[in-house]
């Protein structure tokens, strides 16, 4: 590419000396580069006289091609430099819907102040889809529960998400400060689908408690489960981060114990992929927002005295 840049500069100039001055190199160096190009391609590029420098017909043809190549190359370099400086670009991430509702807005506000021209693509999806997007290189990182055995992925824990009973305020289980998993078989249970991370943890908690609960209703979305609870159709169990997705003042929220289950949340990245400066900044903003959300959401979820 450097040889093409030298040739293009010479093709625009009236002399090799003028071209060399513009490039900041010596005239013999420029002449030597042109001679090497001519030797490689096998034809003469310039007709040189003591007063002028003219392209040969073959030289004019090559100059037209070289102009386009050099312009595209320099434009690409400028684009990379602009992105590296944080002036333009795109960051993509995959997050669980509860993370999108609770943690992400604070992180995105911090990011927008630092990189106002960077576009963000947020995939608020379920666990399996988030992992697939990361493994396929679609997103820079994913915020979700720890994935299975994927040697190409690195996991960094950000916090532990305890589970709570959600029921109507007038429900019998709302009379106590805490609830137990063993209380649930006595009432219609509203479960998330088996494809969700919430369902995997509730099934594990019930197995540890030695109970078997057949869901009366199964839904895919947190808000659907909450709507059914509000309608008096049953109770559900949700992790703390999801509580910010609805107005819990209209419902009763009680810590679930025996066992006390925590959904451990973290960030997944590809080990062999070096994230951009913008992606690293957003990841750090997510870390800080997660720490704040842990304190705020978990405190708000404590039952009244």
CB 10 within 8 A of CB 19: yes
| pLDDT tens digits along 88-125 | 578 999 999 889 888 899 999 999 999 988 999 999 98
Q: What percent of the chain has pLDDT over 90?
A: 44
Residue 274 tokens read as: 């070096």
pLDDT of amino acid 80: 57
| pLDDT tens digits along 111-160 | 999 998 899 999 998 888 999 999 998 999 999 988 777 889 999 999 88
pTM reported for the whole predicted model: 0.63
Q: Which residue has the tokens 């309608």?
A: 231
pLDDT of amino acid 75: 60
pLDDT of amino acid 87: 53
Residue 200 tokens read as: 């995997």
Q: Look at residue 305 and tell me whether its pLDDT is greater than 50.
A: no
Q: What is the mean pLDDT of the chain?
A: 84
pLDDT, average across residues 240-267: 86
- Which H or E element spans position 166? strand 153-168
Torsion of CA 121, 122, 125, 127, to 10 degrees: 100
| pLDDT tens digits along 34-89 | 888 888 888 888 877 656 677 888 888 888 788 777 676 666 554 555 555 545 57
CB 126 within 8 A of CB 196: yes
| pLDDT tens digits along 221-238 | 899 999 999 999 999 999
Q: What is the CA radius of gyration of the chain?
A: 31
Residue 304 banded pLDDT, cuts 50, 70, 90: very low
Question: Which of 38, 58, 56 shows the shortest CA–CA distance to 47?
Answer: 56
Q: Look at residue 185 and tell me whether its pLDDT is greater than 70.
A: yes
pLDDT of amino acid 51: 60
pLDDT of amino acid 88: 52
């Amino acid at each position: 590419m450097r040889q093409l840049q030298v040739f293009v500069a010479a093709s625009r100039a009236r002399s090799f000396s003028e071209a060399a001055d513009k490039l900041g190199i010596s005239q013999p160096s420029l002449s030597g580069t042109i001679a090497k190009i001519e030797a490689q391609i096998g034809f003469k590029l310039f007709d040189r006289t003591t007063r002028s420098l003219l392209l040969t017909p073959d030289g004019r043809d090559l100059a037209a091609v070289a102009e386009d190549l050099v312009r595209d190359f320099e434009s690409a370099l400028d684009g990379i430099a602009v992105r590296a400086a944080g002036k333009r670009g795109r960051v993509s991430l995959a997050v669980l819907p509860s993370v999108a509702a609770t943690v992400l807005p604070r992180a995105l506000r911090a990011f927008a102040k630092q990189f106002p021209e960077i576009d963000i693509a947020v995939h608020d999806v379920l666990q399996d889809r988030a992992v697939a997007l990361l493994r396929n290189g679609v997103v820079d990182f994913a915020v979700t529960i720890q994935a299975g055995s994927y040697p190409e992925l690195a996991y960094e824990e950000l916090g532990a998400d305890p589970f709570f009973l959600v029921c109507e305020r007038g429900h019998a289980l709302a009379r106590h400060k805490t609830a137990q998993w063993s209380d649930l078989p006595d009432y219609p249970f509203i479960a998330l689908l088996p494809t969700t991370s919430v369902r995997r943890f509730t099934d594990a908690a019930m197995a540890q408690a030695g109970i078997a609960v057949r869901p009366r209703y199964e839904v895919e979305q947190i808000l659907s489960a909450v709507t059914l609870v509000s309608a008096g159709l049953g109770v559900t169990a949700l992790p703390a981060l999801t509580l910010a997705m609805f107005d819990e003042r209209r419902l009763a929220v009680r810590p679930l114990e025996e066992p006390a289950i925590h959904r451990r949340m973290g960030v997944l990245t590809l080990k062999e992929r070096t994230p951009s400066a913008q992606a690293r900044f957003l990841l750090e903003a997510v870390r800080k927002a997660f720490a704040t959300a842990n304190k705020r959401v978990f405190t708000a979820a404590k039952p009244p005295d």
